Structure 1
Amino acid sequence: MRLKRETLHYEETAESRARHGEEGFDEVLIDLAFSAMLECVNCKDKVACCGNGGYAPDQYQDESGDLNMDYREEFYVRYFSKAMRIFSVPAKCPKSVKRSIEKSFNVFFCDPGAASNHVRQTAEEILTNSGISAADAKGKFVPLGTRIVSFKTIDKDNADRVDALRWIGNFGSHPENITVNDVFNAYDILEILLEDLYVGHQKSVRNLVDKINTAKRPS
């Protein structure tokens, strides 16, 4: 996605303008609100975005070799009209799993805690699609942790990955404890998990490695 610069519009917020008379006020304390259009370089699709910004000091050297200070605008996107795909979801991924992932992508830039909660929901959907029910024979709810234990008897490696997603998702319920990097870590784990479950390249390679090591010769 590339910025259509002619669509970039920004203004200082009212709260920021009210601080201009305060002692020590500086340009770096200015808060901006912005909106803009982005365009895909491939398909030419358009996506609207908005967020906040400000001014950052920008030191540069002039022709005489003297250092000068200027300010440059910096903008941080918080909302997109269409979810940005942080990673590619396999084509064979179940629809319920894909929907949960897209919900996470939708709020990633504005609410990392909510994004991690949707990652946890994705973990629930993955287990359901793997045959690990969310209810027992009597229809009683089965906690995610208990479901993961059952999944470990079938696929320990991926069960461990689901467990990691559960812990990250749990912390998302307390926004002060979750960071953007935490969610990125969850996405890294989730991407490998989806590849292993719905593409199978890693699993096939593991099986090939085991076969070669057992036979002690090329397969």
Structure 2
Amino acid sequence: MALVVTLLGGESTGKTSLTRALCGHLAETGLAAAEVPEHLRHWCEQQGRAPHAHEQAALAREQARITDEVASRQGVDIVIADTSPLVIAAYSELYFNDRSLWSEALAWQRHVDLTLLMGLDLPWVADGFFRDSPAVRDAVDTAIRRELRAAGQAFQTIHGHGQARTEQALRAIGRRLGLNLTTTEPSQTSGRRAWNCEKCSDPDCEHRLFSGLIARNNTGDTRP
């Protein structure tokens, strides 16, 4: 089985862009990387609408099935999945007040090798009926964090813009593989000194760090 990496987050958190960037870079290193697109988005494009409550479970299971199928293909080293059933479970709770999908989604997520949660530091961009608002994005993030923490599921939050974001994700993947996959040192990916705990998987620690960074930036303080 290939190493499975899932990117979690609500709308406009950069999951698709990061998925493509990671697959492109990993291929350049000689690793066979396979992309798993977001099934929910594909379904919405085909149907021309958002799913109803009774359709959510099937969509979540299909996302899991596709990811498992790609991971089992011969010759695939790494799978980068642009979402997981957890995101659909969050939408089900948010839109339909239905928490029934969390248990199955978390059970599947436990078998994932690396869970990366997209930070909320990217600007929200409208995208037709596929995206609602920054408030929805924040609510999805809150729900996913809550359930991952409650289940004791390790995850790492990925922050940064452009190449800095890609490099941070590559460092996380590289640690799982015992390889150096990045093209730059951590301190070269941004204008400030690398965070000492930037790469830990403690979500509370990460959240405090990111909140402090926002507060300093709002006061014009650019120190690390």
Larger relative contact order (CA 8 Å, sep ≥ 6): 2
